[in-house]
Structure 1
Amino acid sequence: MSNRLKNMIVPVLAVILGMLVGTIIMIVTGYDAGAAFYALWDGAFGDIYYTGETIRQATPYILAGLAVAFAFKTGLFNIGVEGQLIVGWLAAVWVGVAFDLPKIIHLPLAVLAGAAAGAFWAFIPGILKARFRVHEVIVTIMLNYVALHVSNYFVRSVLSEKSDRTPNIPETASLRSSLLEGLTDYSRLHWGIVIALICVFLMWFILEKTTRGFELRAVGLNQHASDYAGMNVKSNIVLSMVISGAFAGLAGTMEGLGTFGYSAVKSGFTGVGFDGIAVALLGGNGPIGIVLAALLFGALKVGALNMPLEAGVPNELVDIIIALIVFFVAASYMIRIFIDRISKKGAK
């Protein structure tokens, strides 16, 4: 069996095993697993409204997954996607509420501000890694907390008058669409999904079709060999983190300009940035895989809200299933051994 086929089978098996173990947990704890999964499906795709909400939920997951995957493809571990998302959200909303401009200028400016803020936040660990060899995992984790508390300070003290949320952004800075809302029975689906899919194409194009993308991947595979070949390893490390942070900032922009239309004080992390790690893992760090994994996570998150209503099953069980899926993806080495043994038996 080819490695490419294995890479496709492993995440599918991880999902199946996660669902299977989740089913066992539901049965053992006295819940009707069949009714739970039916309610989950019905809550994610049973109505055009729920389908719109599922796609809307998947939008920031796609961008967060791209942020993690882009860094990973270039040999870096960006664990700070959550923080970059938060500052991107804040910057986009700030531009939204601070300026009075025509929509053709205001909306692109707000979107670019979110991407730029995320890129800047990722530039910090990038430059520290390139210049001083400070490990990016440590710095990005610490910057998540800095982003959370700095964002809360700006919301309370700069963007509002001692309130826990900013004013709503004007229509000129909004990604909301009456067309998409009308097509999905007034769900919160917005134009952000188009931006996310454009970014999917951009990641593929940059890494696979450009000289700079080849350099980024080469540096990720072997920095010493890349340096010997004449590539600027330090600038490529910084560039990789900046592009990764821009994707993360756009994920926050989708929430600020699309789903919510404001920025509020956060009592804790949104979780989208951390879920992006799982999305990238499940998607095999590939653009198409990330889209499919994000849709799965979006469906699980949205469909889970229907489980207590229709099946009397607590929606926390979905979080357990997601955790199990991630566990099996992380344990893909064992799944690959199992596949190899099956393949060998079939060849005899």
Structure 2
Amino acid sequence: MSQAIARLPRPRALLRYLWSLIAVPLVSFFLALLVGAIVIILSSTLVLKNPFDPTLPLTAYQALAQGAFGSFNSVVTTLVITTPLLLAGLGVGIGFRAGLFNIGAQGQFLMGAVGAVAVAANMQSSPPAIAIPAALAGGALAGAAWGFVPGLLKATSGAHEVVTTIMMNYIALASLAWIVKGPLKEMGSNPPTTPDVGAAALPILIGSTGHLGILLAFAAVPIAWFLLFRTTRGFEIRAVGANPDAARYAGVNPRLMIVLTMSIAGMLAGLAGACTILGISHRMNTTFQTKVGFDSITVALLGRSNPIGIMFAALLFGAMRAGAPPMQINAGIPVELVDFIQALILLFLIANAVLRRLLRLRGVAGAEQTGFQTITRSYGRETLT
């Protein structure tokens, strides 16, 4: 915290510091809603030739909120959609803390789902008490392995993790198609699908779809927070992200931390994939693709790489995803508007420096900006991303 804040009265200093943390994400969200409202009005008037209606955005956003939180089932749906976003977002956020821009959450998510299905397919006769933990562990390990490879390449050769994780995403997509059509294909299935996960299916705890993965995801938040801010290993991860040379001088092994961080990030994204396939889909086909991995990057940015912030960001994105279909039905606004708003949020987050200047936050330079100015290093070279 800056000296300027330290000189303020204690309650005022705390409020100023908290505002410095949430100001940019909050303003980014409301700016995205404002631009989205303008687009709704213009598209309705100019494209659909409807009468000018300035209240249409309010109708759309009301339908969106109603679809996300308007009933018990809506809340459960929001939590189900939030679950993989939260787990994968935590992984990306931990990577940001180490100065690593992990673009591979999508591939790690997919391989986590593949790992869970592979274990479940071979444990059809096992009791759920054994099959469920084994399948979850299989997904987590598969995701960790997918994160370990780019981490190892970064640590040993300086290969940029953005490039290697993107390539690993493509390999994951191709591997998924081959596995579904080959080793794990259910006999006689057309189009090709994997067998039902059977005993490894996550139990339903609330409503008709609220599975065990919801508890796992929210339990991961305090664990991730404790790891980052209350353990020696977490301090080492953050030290490497702040300055790897200084961390090395202090006795930290930056190469080890890079490999460890990428493996943890992959494990969390893999667990997200496992929860999705074991809790919702139960089967996998060649079109098993979601945008969870890519959305988790925005979630981590919006949450400022803090597990608590990531939790609220994941809930926000989960609510928008859950409310999009009712918005289209009740207000006639395409579900693609949610993608547009999420893209705008990311755009405004990237414009962090401009927003901070407009909000006069220059005096709180001590506030963390991790995730907005992620510095990825290839030993001897720095790239501001």
The two structures share one fold, judged by TM-score above 0.5? yes
Question: Which residue in the other structure is 1:64 paired with?
Answer: 88
AA partner of residue 130 (structure 1): A
Question: Which residue in the other structure is 1:165 paired with?
Answer: 193
Using the size of structure 1 for normalisation, the TM-score is 0.93
Give the counterpart of 1:261 among 282, 285, 302: 282
Question: Which residue in the other structure is 2:160 paired with?
Answer: 135
Question: Which residue in the other structure is 1:318 paired with?
Answer: 338
Residues 1:314 and 1:225: Cα distance change in structure 2 (over 3 Å): same
Shift of 1:123: 0.5
Question: Which residue in the other structure is 2:318 paired with?
Answer: 298
Q: Which has the higher contact order (CA 8 A, sep 6+)?
A: 1
Shift of 1:164: 2.3
Shift of 1:3: 4.3
Q: Which runs of 4+ in 1 moved over 3 A?
A: 1-4, 341-344
SS, match of residue 284 in structure 1 = coil
Confirm or deny: 8 A CA contact 2:113 2:276 kept in the other structure: yes
- Does structure 1 residue 285 correspond to structure 2 residue 313? no
- Does structure 1 residue 114 correspond to structure 2 residue 139? yes
User: Structure 1: which 5+ runs fail to align?
Assistant: none
AA partner of residue 135 (structure 1): H
User: Structure 2: which 5+ runs fail to align?
Assistant: 6-15, 45-52, 365-385
Query: How far apart, CA to CA, are the structure 1 residues paired with 2:328 and 2:258?
Result: 46
Question: Which residue in the other structure is 2:375 paired with?
Answer: none
Give the counterpart of 2:229 among 200, 204, 208: 208
1:267-304 CA-partner distances (Å, limit 9, x unpaired): 7x411100000000111111111111111101111101
Query: How far apart, CA to CA, are the structure 1 residues paired with 2:243 and 2:134?
Result: 37
Give the counterpart of 2:103 among 79, 82, 88: 79
Question: Which residue in the other structure is 2:243 paired with?
Answer: 222
AA partner of residue 200 (structure 2): A
AA partner of residue 197 (structure 2): I
Question: Identity of counterpart residues, as a percentage?
Answer: 43
Query: How far apart, CA to CA, are the structure 2 residues paired with 1:175 and 1:325?
Result: 33
Query: How far apart, CA to CA, are the structure 2 residues paired with 1:321 and 1:230?
Result: 44
Query: How far apart, CA to CA, are the structure 2 residues paired with 1:339 and 1:223?
Result: 31
- Does structure 1 residue 271 correspond to structure 2 residue 291? yes
Confirm or deny: 8 A CA contact 1:189 1:259 kept in the other structure: no
Shift of 1:341: 7.4
Q: Which moved more, 1:38-47 or 1:258-267?
A: 258-267
- Does structure 1 residue 176 correspond to structure 2 residue 203? yes
SS, match of residue 312 in structure 2 = helix
Shift of 1:176: 3.2
Using the size of structure 2 for normalisation, the TM-score is 0.84
Question: Which residue in the other structure is 1:27 paired with?
Answer: 41
Shift of 1:48: 1.0
Residues 1:45 and 1:116: Cα distance change in structure 2 (over 3 Å): same
Confirm or deny: 8 A CA contact 1:207 1:213 kept in the other structure: yes
- Does structure 1 residue 123 correspond to structure 2 residue 148? yes
AA partner of residue 161 (structure 2): E
1:300-345 CA-partner distances (Å, limit 9, x unpaired): 111011122111111111211111111111212111111117999x
Query: How far apart, CA to CA, are the structure 2 residues paired with 1:308 and 1:194?
Result: 30
